[in-house]
């Protein structure tokens, strides 16, 4: 799971004004693009698949990738999601000996 997670708002709280503040902060963060749907992954070296484990992934999720290293940028041409299930996705890619094929990702849906 990503390190940059924002606080979740409980469904109810005894202090209604504190609850409202948390809801307002969460809505404002969402409007500013601060979503709990991002993470990072490194492709496995000398392999053609990498498993992305993230509880937010479902069978209908869309997963978008952004290379964050030069070797990630080189690898992006051959990277695709070949399978999705609840909590995981299989990434298929070319085999490469580089250990820094790093990507940021976002899960939607």
Question: What is the structure's pLDDT at 17?
Answer: 92
Q: What is the token pair recorded at 61?
A: 């999720």
Cα distances from 61 to residues 38, 57, 79, 87, 92, in angstroms, run 13, 6, 16, 10, 16
Residue 5 has a pLDDT of: 66
d(Cα 22, Cα 50) in Å, to the nearest integer?
37
Specify the DSSP class assigned to residue 86.
Answer: T
pLDDT at 1: 44
Ranges under pLDDT 70 in the chain: 1-5
Under DSSP, the state recorded for 59 is T
Residue 33 is predicted with a pLDDT of 85
């Amino acid at each position: 799971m990503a390190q940059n997670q924002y606080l979740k708002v409980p469904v109810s709280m005894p202090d209604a004004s504190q609850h409202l503040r948390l809801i307002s902060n969460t809505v404002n963060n969402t409007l500013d693009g601060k979503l709990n749907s991002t993470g990072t992954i490194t492709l496995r070296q000398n392999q053609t698949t990498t498993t992305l484990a993230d509880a937010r992934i479902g069978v209908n999720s869309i997963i978008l990738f952004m290379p964050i290293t030069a070797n990630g940028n080189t690898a992006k041409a051959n990277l695709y999601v070949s399978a999705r299930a609840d909590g995981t996705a299989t990434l298929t890619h070319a085999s490469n000996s580089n250990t820094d094929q790093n990507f940021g990702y976002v899960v939607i849906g």
